[in-house]
Structure 1
Amino acid sequence: MTTPTGSPSPEALIILKALRDAVTKNLEKKRRLGHYIVIWQDGRPVLVGEDAPKPES
């Protein structure tokens, strides 16, 4: 996989903004409903929220 250099194209910036807006909207919805979220942290998925399932020991 290669990492692009330089700045993103105008089309890529529009797509990136749409993705960020969609994620922000859905995270806010989950927060209002009291649902947990899954994020990537330290190389592994992490469940965040009061109702998140507890990890198995």
Structure 2
Amino acid sequence: MTTPHNWRKSSYSGEGDGNNCLEIAHSTAQVAIRDSKAPARATLTFRAPTFATFVRTLKNPTT
């Protein structure tokens, strides 16, 4: 995934916060994340299963 074309921004990113947030693009194998304020800068790329585990942990943290 060198130049993903399916970047999307969170629906929580509204005008009140200046539309600043992360954007995400994904394929079957990878997930890429970038800063919406500086999209030409570097991206973070993760294997899709690793990112899915990360998101699941954020949604259901153990205390």
Scaled by the length of structure 2, the TM-score of the pair is 0.25
Task: Say which structure is richer in helix.
Answer: 1
Larger relative CO (CA 8 A, sep 6+): 1 or 2? Answer: 2
Task: Say which structure is richer in strand.
Answer: 2
Scaled by the length of structure 1, the TM-score of the pair is 0.26
